[in-house]
Structures are given as structure tokens and as C-alpha cells.
Amino acid sequence: MTSEGDDVPTELEDVDIKLEADNGDRRLSVTLPDGEEYEPLPMPSPEALSDNEGKVTTTMAPMDFRLDRIPYASAYRCSEKGISAITGANSVFIPKASLTVHISEAVRQTTARGGLNPYLYTVEVTHGKFSWTIRRRYKHFNELHDRLQAYRVTAKIPIPTKKHRQRRKTMKGGKSEVKIPHFPKRPEATIKLEGLPKRRVQLENYINAVVQNKVYREHSATKRFFGISKISFIEDLGVKAMEGVIKKQTGSHKVALNFLGRCCPCCDCAHSDIGLRWADRWFVVKDTFIAYLDSKKLDTITGVFLFDGATTVEYDGNSFSILLLTNQSRKMKLNCWTARKAKEWKQAIQDNVDKYSEDLTNSNIRLQSFAPPRPDTYCHWFVDGRNYMSAVADAMEAACEEIFITDWFFSPQLYLKRPIDPTDKWRLDKILQRKANQGVKVYVLLWKEIKGTVTTFSCYAKSHLSGLSSNISVLRHPDFAPDQTLWAHHEKIVVIDQSIAFIGGIDLCYGRWDDHLHRLVDQDPNAPADTTTIGDTTQQENGGQAEPTAAKKMPAAMPLTMMGMMAVGLVDQAGQTQQKQQQPTTKTEDDEVKQSKTMRFTRRLRNFDPRRKKSSVLSQAFSHGVTDANYGTVSDTKPLIVEKKRGWRYWRRGVEDDSSDEEDQPRGRQEKGDGNYFLQKYQQMADHVNNGKLVLWPGKDYYNMMIRDFAELDNPFADVLNRNKEVRVPWHDIASVSYGKAARDAARHFIQRWNFTKLQKKREKETVHFLMPKTYSKTSFQMLDCNPHRRVPQAVKANVQVLRSSSVWSAGIFQVDCSIQNAYQHAISAAEHFIYIENQFFITMMGSQRVFNIISLSLFNKIVQCHEKKKQFRVYVVMPLIPGFEGDIANAAESRSIRVMLYYQFKSISRGPSSLLQRLDDRIGKDEWRNYISFCGLRQHSELNDRPVTEIVYVHSKMLIVDDRITIIGSANINDRSLSGSRDSEVAIIVEDNQFVDSTMDGKPYKAGVFSSALRRRVFSEHLGLLPADDDGTLTDYDPLTYVTTKPIDDVTCDYFFNEVWMKTSRTNTATFEKVFRCIPSDSIHVSTEIATFYEKRLLDDDIELSRKELSKISGTLVQLPLLFLSEEDLLPNALSAEGVLRLADTFL
């Protein structure tokens, strides 16, 4: 079926554009006036134009086909045939836009080299909305004429090609041919001043005739004469400014791109002029950056220079023909040949820096951030992953040009919307593939973890995504270097079309999808009632906790890891692998035949795949019939369950450890050496989807890091836990979305990191592009402004500023950016009534020689100040009850990572002279701090196999709210790793309300900010159990500002709320959990040896029904943080252990 494109403007009378539909695929075909047809172009699917309810959205097109502008995406699509008639991707000119030239001035300017061309002509050029000025001498006009004449002569040669026949046909003349006037050949030196006006008219007529001829206009010589490249007229990149060839000195980066190129790590030879050369580059000055291209082709961007607070352009010493261009990451020398050209370039660059930089070049931006505050910016918050991931999915589906993603941990097979669609429509990799096939460019920037440390498996994510489409590019950073081993890229950002930015603490990975119900159990109704514990054969079903082995205690097996906090898990895996490989197994003849067939199948599979790697994990698993350390080989003659004593994990959750006779029988499990194993796992999951009974957390998404860390992430649909015996850890998190200029700031940060990574790793690879930031002009936001439905409905206006922690190793900038820490200090200092903190960590000390962030000091000063003024003031801190690492806290050898984190957190909160509470005791009086500050955690309960169970709710948020008027949301933890700027890279936003609602504070009328107050009420309602009881997790009709709760939560400063609501609820919940489950951690346990007897008197073992009755008293998930837990035990690791070594390197801090 073929139909005319209704939306195509009538100006295209000489271009035939048709929209073809075949089997649901939409393609755009283009036929030019000469009859030449271009191959069809893929068009977005109808789903891209529909909303969540399937209704077609006619107001938003995935591509903009206006013929008065060139889309931004065409900057990266110059090689796509046929798109030039629509986007100008092959042609650099705007379709149907005239190009007019006027020579406004001619002045005599002679130089030592310009005696034969004494006159300098000022040429004013207009093309569509773009106007610019160039200065040329007669020799430049003459060179253009000679090139065009040579081109015309060669066109008359009858070369038998289609392209050449078309060129000859155009040259022969016809109705559309523009006659080129005679070019004035009289030497310029013989022309006197009185004859200059006539020469101006001759040259102007000639050049206007040239640009009216399509063939001459498209000639490279014409483009060079006018200073035009493929990015000149892309409106989203800003105004048309100066362009041309300059000699650039190589080696302009302040950061050595490869440490192996230095004589030694501390040597600065990389910054000297030794071995440097000059190379021609085509420079393009835009609004907020300079791009330079290959000077010969003009189609390959070879670098991008961003304007920032350190941008300067000066002459290099006494040479007035050489410019020195500087920003936070580069110092670039440019040879302009003459002083006049150098002056013109200097003025052009400075003009754009001053006029269009949107305060980005201010050297004193508030909070010392790279981006200024953006007033009246639409923004919204998300509590927990469900609504966040749904909004991300919708934004990705509406993407028109680009998708930027950077995460600490990225899982391609993550489902962003649930219940899961049977077609996998909302699976992350499917969304990205669908958009990439529609022409959207997808750029993913991942942290490259040190092999053998944390299990983020970024290599698999890159391999999987890169194979989906050529429009998906993935980079990992950093490669190993001596000065880069300790820190991580911890940012969580998704940016759509550089206009929508999601920023917060939620990675797009397994385990993060959750809602306010925080379910512990997610059993598959189609699965058999298998109660075995997934794992190795030595692991019992005591809640998933493995017993220690000799291999686990070997410090020699512990490598020096980057994070350190996961180090124990690495030894556990290595020990289990070694032990299992040494265990004898009895093989039957059938087993040997099966293994032989499997190996033959594997060899054929390997030979079939030309991209295979000899040492890949998958191929090893196939060829040897084994899995990795967490799974092990299971034979039919060896039982999966070995009866052992009960562990603390069993008692902590209340899972009953009664192995029936049936459970003790051997259970065969299909060997993963079978090549069909993964397909069968996926098919089983797909069958459950079709039956409408699929679990909410499939495969690896059902996760409890304290039982078992991730493994086999390339097998995403295989469970890592036994759903019938082990509960998941609910995940509480916070994120945000912002629009407009703030989103463009976040995109700019991503672009800076991407370009820096490309320079280090893929400098010469043209398929990996340098990225360019869009302009901040109002016209560049028209697509967003004209389509308000692209914003989440709850978005409100506020003042938003993007913050970050970045430095040399993470972003290539020589000035450390610690604006997140500055924002925390600013917000705490500005607090008048209360401070609410949710964070994964709380490592901040006063007077410490190793911890230097000032969060604790800021809180201390604020509390002391309010105490001295006798002013009502509250600080609420919510954090995890226990660090989220695998290990048995009762066993010091198995829980070194947990213990070292507990050591630093307790030392920050309540133990030792550097702690906040002890300092407050010394300053304002013993236990007076209890009137000002509280530390709490979250815990949930449920039922598994008709028996109550419990687990902590892991707090992963990185949020601060002050006075219901200021909010900080991001990826930064409260520790030096996140806040120092020179360690982990982080991104956050600070939101300051400018819209207010009536509220109450300390018993008095108060104007609360709409953004901050709504978020704080939503979070408090969740923790205190005040959300609608009949909600299914979506909170569809819930508005925190209007919903009437059973307990007052508007005034959180008054005594009633602090004592009778917050503290009373947390105490009641804590007491109930301890009575029923005897939960760990607990204030009743001062040394780990007390854990064994701690569970002897728990109600759950005596009366399940009474336990259920007691649990009904619990409201929400709020419990008190046990500040006395292991208070009499030394939590520091042995100095010879990996944690001990890493502690000396401040890896945990």
C-alpha cells in the first residue's frame, strides 16, 4: 500500500515523497525531479506515536520533516543515501532555502604577502535563518573560479557511470540552468580605488550566480569559500559563526590519554612540545563549543572543545598569528597564518563565549558547579523503581534523535514495565533496539569494573547491546592504570534528545525495580514446589547462607580489588570453585555419551560463530559442562541438600529449616553444558508470560545480595535464589527527571565524559562519534515545548541546578568538581526547621585524618546553633540497617566487608571522638541529641510457605530535603568516595522550590515548596504506613499534597510528630520485629558470640498465629537503627587481609 505523505509541506513541488507500508513496516521513499529514486528509508513504527493506552498521538512525530531546518541527527548520518532530499544529510544546505551573497565593503589592506591582492572584501551571506560574514581577497574568488572551471571541463568527459551521466545532464543546460557571468580577470593590483565599486559588483554577481547553480553550490570549493561544513546549518547546534582551516598543534590534552606513553606515572613529558606537529583541521565555532573536522573530507568530526568556566582565548606569547585556546581539560595551540586571521578567530570565539554560553563560562558559578541554576525548570521526583523505570521507558519510546545512558550497573534484559508484556515490548534491550532501528542514536557509557571484583559484568552488557544495531554505541571506562584503580563511575543518568534528563540513584539493572509495597516473596505459580537452595552442593537451605570452607579462609587467594567491599565474595567464589572441581563424581556411560555429544555440539557452535572468543565464559561452560563458582556441577548421584546446623540468616528471616524426606532425595538438574539450556530457560519464562502468570522479578531480578551475589549475568533468566525458600531484598530508592536547560546541562556532562573516553579508547574509530551539545536557544526546545505530553503529568516548575563529582580520571578536567558536597553544605547551612536524609552510607567524621567530607560537621554546627537559640529543629536520617554485602555477620572471617563498613559508619555516628553523637554529647549535654536527631532503617515482613518471614528494605537513596523547600537527589553517597570529587564520579540535582502551598511548621503557618513537600510527604507516608491500603503499587490517583493521612505529617518539626509519630512508630515496629523474629542487627547483641543464643526465645517458633497478630501492629517499614550492635567487638579487619590493605588505601571511605 502506498499513500502520499499528508504532512509534507507543499513547497516540495519538484520532489515526490511517498509513505509506503508493507507488513506493518513504514518506509519513506524519495524521487527527485530528474527521476532518480532513492532506496526507502526506515520510518518509526506506529507504536512510537502512541501513548500508554495505545491511542495514536498525532502531535508528536519521531522525526521532524520541516524543510526549513536540518535535524540535529543528520550530523551523524552523512553517509545515508537518499536522506538529503529531506534532512540535508548529504547536502549541507537547507532544502529549498535560498543562499544570497552581498559584498558590503572593500577596503585596502596590504601586507607583506598581500601585495598582489591589496583589497579585502567583506562578504555578507544569508541562508535561511542563518547569516554570517566572511572576509576574502580577490585570490580566493579566483581560486574558486578555477576549481569550478576544472570541474566543468571534467564533467564533459563521457565517463560511463550513473553519477557522471547525471552531472553531464545538469551541465548541458536547460530551464533550470543558471548562466554564470564572466569572471573578472583583471589583476587586482592594477585596480584603483575609483574602480573598486565596479569590481565589487562584478564579483557579487558572479558569486550569486554560482550559488544559484545546484552543482556549483554543492562543490567542495564553494563550501570552503563560504566557510560551510555539514554542521553549519543544524539549528540545534546554534548560530552559524566562523569556520575554516587552521593548523592545530597535536598533544593539546592536559590529561595524558594513555599512562603507558609516559616515562613514568609522575612524568610530565606528555605535556611537553617534544614530538608534537602541526596538522590542518577545519574549525567550526558554535554556541557553546568548537568542533574540528578532517580538513580534507569535512565529514568526520575529529574533536570537540567545550566552553566552560576556564575558557580563554589569548595570543601565544609574542606571536600574533598563534592563538592559545584553554578550557578545563585542554590547552590548544592554533596557527592562523596571519595576525589578521588570528584576530578574526579570536574575536569570533570570544563573541560566542560571551553571547551564547548561558553562563557556562562564568568562572564563579554558584556551588562551584559546571552548570548554573536554571530557573522555572519543569521537574519531578520518583520514589522507588517502578514509576521511575516506567517513565524512562516512555521517554525512550518517544525519543527522536538520541538516548544517552550511563550507569554503574546495567542489565540489558531488564523489564522496565511490569507485569511483563508477552511481546517483551518494555524490555530495556528491546526498547533500545527498536529505537535504534528507527534511526535514533543510542550511546551507553558504562563503568569498566576490575575483573574479578564486583559482578556488574559490563563486558556482557557491551557485547549484547553492540550486536543489536549499528546505531547503538557502547564504551566502558576506565582501562587499568595505576592512578585509576580505586574509584568507579557511579553516575545514573538517562538523557533523551538532550531535553529530558533522569538523574538519581537508580541503576537500570537487576534488583532495582520495586514499589512502595516492597514485596519479599515472588513465587512462580507454574513452577514445581522445589524447596532446594540454589547454589553449590555444600550450601544448605538455611536462608541461603553457605558454611565456611578452608578455601574461604585463605588470604593468599584474596586479590587487591578496586572496591574492596566485594572482596570476600570473590574468595568465596574462588574457594567454592576449587573445592567443587576437586570433588570426585561418579559418571555413568550415559553421562559420558551425553558429555561427548555436548562437546561436539559446542565445537560446531563455536566454529559457526566468527565472533567467538576462545576463552569466553560461555564457551567454557558449554565445553566443560560446568557453571561458575556459585552453581557448580551437580550429578544425579549426589544430593543437593546437605543437612547442617542453622545459620543466622535462617533465624533473621524466620525461614523454617525442616528438610523433608522428599527434599533429601537426589534432585537431578539439567546440566548447563547442554546447549539448549539457556533457550529452555527462556522458553519456560515465555510460556509463563503467555499464561499471564509470570513473576514480577524474573531470573536474576529476584535478588538478595546478602545471601548470594550476582553470577552468570549472561544467563539472565536463571534464578540466583530459590523463590520457595529465600526472600528477596526490597529496594528503596529515589530519582528525578528534569527538562529543558537543566537536562541539556546533564547531557553536556555526558558528552564531556563520552568524548574523553573516545579520545582514550576509540580515537581513530569513526563509527564511534564525538558528540556535540545542543544550543540553549529557545528554538532548540520547540519540540519539547510544543509537546507538553512528553513531560510527566506531575512535573512542576522549580529552580534546578545540575551538580557533579568529577576530576581528571573521570572526565578529563584538571579542576576537581565537588559541587555535590558544596550543595549539601549549602542546604544544611540554610536549614531553619528540619533536615531529612536518606542515604546508602553515612561515613562522615569530624577531626578525622582520613575522612574529610564536611557533612557531619555541618550537621553538628546546625544542631548546636539551634540548641543555643533554643529553637525547635529536627534531623531525620534513614539508612540501611546493615551494609548490603554477602557474608555471615556471625563469622568474622566471612563478613569482613560488612564489618569494616559497620566500623566506619558507627565511628561516624556514635562511637569515638570523631562521631557526631559523641561530639554533641560533649557540646550540648549527655543524650540531648535525642531531641534533635534520629537514625532509622527500614524492614518489611511477609509470608512464605504459610510462615511469616522478614528482611530489611535496602535503602539505596541519595537524597536530602531541607525545610520542604530544598531537595538534593542524585547518585552520591555520604562518604568521601562520592563527595570528594576526585574519587567516584557522581551526578545530582539541587531543586529549590519557587511554587508554594500552605502548610504548617512548628505549629505556625508555613509556605512549603510544591516539589520538596510532595516528595517528603510521599516518603514519610511510605515509611510510616500511611499510604492507601488498597493500592496495588501504582499509586495512580495518589497526590501527596492532597491525600489525607491518618496521622499528621505536614509539620515534622513539632514535638508531637517527632515523638508520637516518628519515634513511636519506629520503636513499636522495632520491638515487634524483635519479639517475633529476633532480627539481626539488634541492640541486644554486643558481640557476635551472642548471636547463637539470640534466637532462643522468638515468638515465631512457639506460636505462628500469635506472631501474625503481633505483626499486624506494625505500621509501615520504619525501625530504629541499632547503634549498640556489636558495640563491644572490634570490627576492624586484620591488617593482612584484603580489607585491611584496602582500608589503608581509603577504598571504603
Q: What is the pLDDT of residue 790?
A: 84
- pLDDT, position 531: 52
Checking if the pLDDT of 76 tops 90, the result is no
Burial class, 315, CB count within 10 angstroms (exposed 0-12 / middle 13-18 / buried 19+): middle
CA distance 1035 to 93: 50
Kindly report, residue by residue over 410-429, the tens digit of the pLDDT.
999 999 999 998 899 999 99
pTM for this prediction: 0.83
Identify whether the C-beta of residue 853 lies closer than 8 Å to the C-beta of residue 844. yes
Alpha-carbon gap, residue 486 to 305, rounded angstroms:
28
Give pLDDT, residue 135.
95
Q: Identify the pLDDT of residue 823.
A: 98
Q: What is the pLDDT of residues 821-861, one digit of tens each?
A: 999 999 999 999 999 999 999 999 999 989 999 999 999 99
Would you report the helix, strand and coil content of the chain in percent, each value rounded to 5?
30, 20, 50
| Integer angstrom CA distances of residue 406 from 71, 510, 898 | 24, 15, 28
Contacts 24+ apart (CB under 8 A), 24-31: 28/86, 30/82, 30/85, 30/86
User: What pLDDT is stored for residue 161 in this prediction?
Assistant: 78
The answer to whether the CB of 90 falls within 8 A of the CB of 81 is yes
| Mean pLDDT, all residues of the chain | 80
Q: CB–CB of 1097/1078 below 8 Å?
A: yes
Cell numbers placing 282: 577545519
| C-alpha cell recorded at residue 1140 | 585491611
Give the pLDDT score at 679.
54
Q: How confident is the model at residue 41 (pLDDT cuts 50, 70, 90)?
A: very low
**Highest-scoring range by mean pLDDT, 199-208, 570-579, 709-718:** 199-208
Strand-pair category, 1118-1120 with 933-943: antiparallel
What pLDDT was estimated at residue 551?
30
Conformational region of residue 235, where left means phi above 0, alpha means psi within -120 to 50, and beta covers everything else:
alpha
- Chain segment 164-176, per-residue pLDDT in tens: 676 666 665 544 5
Q: Is the pLDDT of residue 120 over 80?
A: yes
256 — pLDDT class (breaks 50, 70, 90): low
Out of 82-96, 378-392, 873-887, 1096-1110, pick the least confident: 82-96
**Average pLDDT, stretch 178-207?**
88
Q: What is the pLDDT of residue 74?
A: 83
Q: What are phi and psi of 123, to 5 degrees?
A: -110, 120
- C-alpha span between 589 and 843 (Å, rounded): 59
Average pLDDT (476-505) is 87
Q: How confident is the model at residue 389 (pLDDT cuts 50, 70, 90)?
A: very high
The answer, yes or no, to whether residue 888 has pLDDT greater than 70, is yes
Of the pLDDT bands very low, low, confident and very high (cuts 50, 70, 90), residue 803 is very high
In this structure, of 208-217, 673-682, 879-888, the range with the lowest mean pLDDT score is 673-682
Question: pLDDT at residue 749 above 90?
Answer: yes
* Residue 622: pLDDT band with limits 50, 70, 90: very low
Q: Which residue has the higher pLDDT, 1008 or 564?
A: 1008
Beta bridge partners of 332: 325
Q: What one-letter code names the amino acid at 100?
A: T
pLDDT at position 24 is 43
Q: Residue 1145 to residues 448, 485, 847, 1140: CA-CA distances in angstroms?
A: 20, 11, 19, 9
**What gap in Å lies between CA 957 and CA 381, rounded to an integer?**
12
pLDDT at residue 800, rounded to an integer:
98
Which helix (H) or strand (E) element contains residue 903? helix 896-909
For cell 609522575, the residue is 266
Q: What is the CA radius of gyration of the chain?
A: 33
Question: pLDDT at position 620, please?
Answer: 33
Percent of the chain whose pLDDT exceeds 70: 73
Say how far residue 716 (Cα) sits from the centre of its chain.
Answer: 21
How large is the average pLDDT for residues 989-1013? 97
- At 814 the three-state DSSP class reads coil
Burial class (CB in 10 A: 0-12, 13-18, 19+), 338: middle
**Residue 60, amino acid:** M
Ranges assigned E (strand) in 388-519 = 402-407, 441-447, 472-477, 493-496, 500-504
pLDDT tens, residue by residue, 905-925: 999 999 999 999 999 999 999
Q: How much is the pLDDT for 544?
A: 33
Query: What's residue 673's pLDDT?
Result: 42
Angle at 838 between CA 810 and CA 697, to 5 degrees: 80
Residue with the three cell numbers 553516575: 491
Residue range 1076-1117, pLDDT digits in tens: 999 999 999 999 999 989 988 899 999 999 999 999 999 999
pLDDT in tens, 954-975: 999 999 999 999 999 999 999 9
- Given a cut of 70, whether residue 54 has pLDDT beyond it is no
Report percent pLDDT > 90 for the chain. Answer: 58
Give burial (CB, 10 Å; 0-12/13-18/19+) of 864.
middle
Sign of CA dihedral 537, 540, 543, 549: negative
8 Å CB contact between 441 and 471: yes
Query: What would the mean pLDDT of 55-78 be, rounded to a whole number?
Result: 58
Q: What's the pLDDT band for 153 if we cut at 50, 70, 90?
A: confident
Q: How far is CA 525 from the centre of its chain?
A: 35
Grid cell listed for 88: 540535508
Whether the per-residue pLDDT at 504 is higher than 50: the answer is yes
